[in-house]
Structure 1
């Protein structure tokens, strides 16, 4: 039985472990934290949103980035200090603008395909993750934003997603608690929400039942591969050990860039920080005043999800500031103010702030497939749609791994039903 190491215990690492274990491989997952899903997969916006599949490689993103560069509470904030990494990433981002439409349509197809797998896993493994299937409502305050959403809808439709324009009165009927004046909205009934950390933790427990070995609290010092064998040197509680595997899968989020360099690959991931607040709905008035339907406010770039009876998550913004985990008060404040304005009956007296680093590639498409060495694979760079895309890219990864080992041992076949062909690369 081939032994595969997965580096990274976030949503992509755990879903990768699950599909590879299902396919009959011996899997070891390496995670530097004590549990799975403790960094970017801990407290995101909670949306499983094919309707948010529009990639960011649009000229308007550049205009907003320049306009908001010195506005501390802007939805998109770029640290003006140049670094080679940031400059190279931005150059490739600009180069990807001509593929904006194609990549948006491709992302939509992937997001739709991922649903069947993810929902099926949750049902099969009995994972409770506060899943709510009430759709996602995109809200717009002016004609310009609404018209842009209409153009995006044509791309989403080309990718197979149905969503419909709604009037302000229809928006009120969909989510009666929403306050304010709006030009219109778009509603996607097939989208849903849930708690990503609960899902990741539950799936990690399912992986353990399938025989996956978890090495928690382990920092990767060195990764090497020669196409046949792979070695990973780990540091745990001050002790250093080297483990040998048949193959390596890199799912390390923003930390994957350095690991990829050790393995001979260029992985131009940039950390794009996002913030969230979890509002504790500790009184009956707040519970009634908080929305049940998930929202996406395109003007402020904020998303919401209702997590059970007593939690309300608001998340968003994008900050280009390198590997920086600081939770800044001036970035959290707009999220609280947004709740106060849109849902004035909700008490924001008790909130839990959080920040996570989205692993983004310049074209806004994940990298799934083989590296320069034949036994090195990647499933990373999902950006703001990590949870939404994770199930399908995990299946794609399993297909690549299966193909690799089938070439080395043609007599061995490990069938994986429903795995799309082709890799997604930058």
Structure 2
């Protein structure tokens, strides 16, 4: 694999960060090597920490980060939990190809999460959650742009903005209020007419007569999250980060005799099991949990209850028609009616979306896959080679509010902004629950958690977990 040219600059920058025998660096273990875990490792290493990343897969970015929609979309901040969703979810309940599908299961965790989700659908809560996601999104997009400028990393990125387009008048009308709300928060999403939409993205010309409206955010971006994750992981290795792949994290181990009236709970080690080996103990000074949907099971034995449930998302990747590449979009698109996003990645078109609540099931559902291709063929019939399609599914770690959990872990029920002063861990940190916006929020979340660990306050007005103690 070829790496970008600025690695020498990284080594030069790192020289004054390396610890000595007399003043060793604090050792931090990052649990998980998806895009959130790898960016976390990068920012911690840049801050001077000794970092080890532990990952059960054989390489970085092979789970939820592998084939997502590819968007850095501050403008896609309207929470799934909003006043319109319950009615839509009921309408879609028994439609196998529905954009949002709750499968009825005898699962207490899913039932509890669903009740919490419905509470977040209130207008006041949906607005508060939108505010949180826009603020974090702006902070994160800026962090990504600065990282890219500093190290010259390439990942099939496009900086042509993101366009929401609408073929339903009702969906377009419903988009006006959140668009104006995002503008007020500093996200430059604006309503544009159909002529402007087609001018910005000529691939929409064949369906121009079906469009009812569009919005456009020029500063949003797209790119290959998997490629970014793997290339940044390689940069991390060059900078001194150690990766332990093919290593399952079995348990997080705490001091059982902690007196919470005098001392915070403390993680002393994690139990790991490298492939083909017996379980063993791994020790660091601090731990950052970035395991997405798989965070729940490791935290529960510690008395930490995070409201994360896996939302199964699908993607389809098509080869762009080499005879008519202009008929596939370059501007990254969001089809709000069908809950799909489309991003141009080199000579491929990635289309992703929908949410299926079906536990940890990773089986590809043919009906849901075919529904994506059917819509793509309606939109760009001559722009892609339909029979080249590669389908994929992954588990997005969804919180009921859609707002991720970033900050210091504490016992009890955890949600963004929550804390339990008597049971806040002194060395366990959370960077998880990013839902559909893990790629969008990854750099900002990683930068923020690095600053929090250093005892600094990130320059973003966000409700971090466990940080008001």
Q: In which range does the TM-score fall when normalised by the shorter chain?
A: over 0.9
Q: Deviations over 1:94-114 (max 9, x none)?
A: 222331111102211211111
**Corresponding residue for 1:21?**
45
Does structure 2 conserve the Cα–Cα contact (< 8 Å) formed by 1:9 and 1:30? yes
Listed as ranges, the matches of 1:235-246 within 5 Å are: 235-239=273-277, 240-246=279-285
What residue number does 1:256 align with? 295
Offset at 1:419?
4.9
On the 8 A contact 2:252/2:267 being kept in 1, the answer is: no
Equivalent residue, structure 2, for 1:325: 362
Q: Deviations over 1:122-144 (max 9, x none)?
A: 23233210111111111112322
Aligned equivalent of 1:366: 404
Instruction: Answer yes or no: is 1:277 the counterpart of 2:316.
Output: yes
SS of 1:198 mapped into structure 2: helix
Alpha-carbon distance between aligned partners in 2 of 1:182 and 1:420, rounded to the nearest angstrom? 36
Q: Could you tell me which residue of structure 1 aligns to residue 202 of structure 2?
A: 176
In the alignment, the residues of structure 1 paired with residue 196 and residue 282 of structure 2 have an alpha-carbon distance, to the nearest angstrom, of: 58
How many aligned positions are there?
412
Q: Retained in 2: the 8 A contact 1:379–1:394?
A: yes
Aligned pair in 2 of structure 1 residues 69, 417: CA closer, same or farther (>3 Å)?
Answer: closer
Are the equivalent residues in 2 in contact too, given 1:365–1:424 (CA < 8 A)? no
Q: Which moved more, 1:52-61 or 1:26-35?
A: 52-61
* Corresponding residue of 1:223: 252
Contact 2:451 2:457 in 1 (8 A): no
How much has 1:424 moved relative to structure 2?
A: 2.7
1:344 aligns with 2:381: yes
Instruction: Report the Cα distance in structure 1 between the residues aligned to 2:58 and 2:145, rounded to whole angstroms.
Output: 26
1:209 is matched with which residue? 238
Select between 116-125 and 337-346 the one with higher mean Cα deviation. Answer: 116-125
Q: Distance in 2 between matches of 1:172 and 1:419?
A: 37
Q: What is the match of residue 91 of structure 1? A: 115
- Say if 2:64 is the partner of 1:62: no
Q: Say which of 163, 166, 170 aligns to 2:189.
A: 163
Residue 200, structure 1, aligned to residue 229, structure 2: yes
Please give the per-residue CA displacement for 1:257-308, whole angstroms capped at 9, x wherever unaligned.
01111333111210001100110125322x2321111110110001000011
Which residue of structure 1 lines up, in the alignment, with residue 454 of structure 2? Answer: 402
Alpha-carbon contact 2:132-2:462 (below 8 Å) kept: no
> What's the offset of the Cα at 1:59?
2.1
- Superposed CA RMSD in Å reads 1.6
Structure 2 match to 1:106: 132
How far residue 357 of structure 1 moved from its aligned partner, in angstroms, is: 0.6
Residue of 110, 120, 138 corresponding to 2:164: 138
Q: Distance in 1 between matches of 2:189 and 2:32?
A: 35
Q: How does 1:283-298 map to 2 (within 5 A)?
A: 283-285=322-324, 287-298=325-336
State which of 95, 117, 125 in structure 2 corresponds to 1:71: 95
8 Å Cα contact 2:248-2:275 kept in structure 1 = no
Deviation at 1:325, TM superposition (A): 0.8
Q: Relative to structure 1, is the Cα distance of residues 307 and 204 closer, same or farther in structure 2, using a 3 angstrom cutoff?
A: same
Deviations 1:291-329 (A, max 9, x none): 111110110001000011x11111111100000111111
The normalised TM-score by structure 2 is 0.85
What pairs with 1:385-400 in structure 2 (closer than 5 Å)? 385-400=437-452
* Bigger mean CA offset, 267-276 vs 124-133: 124-133
1:51–1:188 contact (8 Å) kept in structure 2: yes
Distance 2:56 2:267 in 1: 23
CA–CA distance in structure 2, aligned partners of residues 189 and 237 of structure 1: 45
Deviation (angstroms), 1:80 = 1.5
For 1:337, what is the secondary structure of its paired residue? Answer: helix
* Whole-Å separation in 1 of the counterparts to 2:402 and 2:267: 31
Unpaired stretches in structure 2, ≥5 consecutive residues: 1-24, 256-264, 411-424
Q: TM-score scaled to structure 1, two decimals?
A: 0.93
Distance 1:118 1:417, change over 3 A: farther
2:258 equivalent in structure 1: none
**Residue 307 in structure 1 maps to residue 345 in structure 2:** yes
Residue 424 of structure 1 pairs with residue 464 of structure 2: yes
Could you list the runs of 5+ residues in structure 1 that have no partner in the other structure? 404-415
